[in-house]
Structure 1
Amino acid sequence: MLLKVTDKLKFIKIIIMIKSFNHYCRKIVGEFVKTPIKNKEQKR
């Protein structure tokens, strides 16, 4: 019983980590995409 609970917690932790990692990646990609557009606008 205890093993199953810890496995569940580990699984939930991994899911949370993956979700936050995806969110973090999207944020970085979003910033990365925004900056070149800003630079182009400044050059004009």
Structure 2
Amino acid sequence: VQKAIAFARRAHSGQLRKTGEPYLSHCVHTGKILAALVPAEGER
């Protein structure tokens, strides 16, 4: 996951959302929501 975030950070460097936030912020926030909703491997 860390490698993917680093890649996305480089790929979208300087890109902004319509709100002025960095483009990657949406992806990170969405990932956090999904991580909270999906049980970890040992919790199934």
TM surpasses 0.5:
no
Range into which the TM-score falls when normalised by the shorter chain: 0.3 to 0.5
TM-score (norm 1): 0.40
Larger Rg: 1
TM-score (norm 2): 0.40
More helix as a share of residues = 1
Structure with bigger RCO (C-alpha 8 Å, 6+ apart): 2
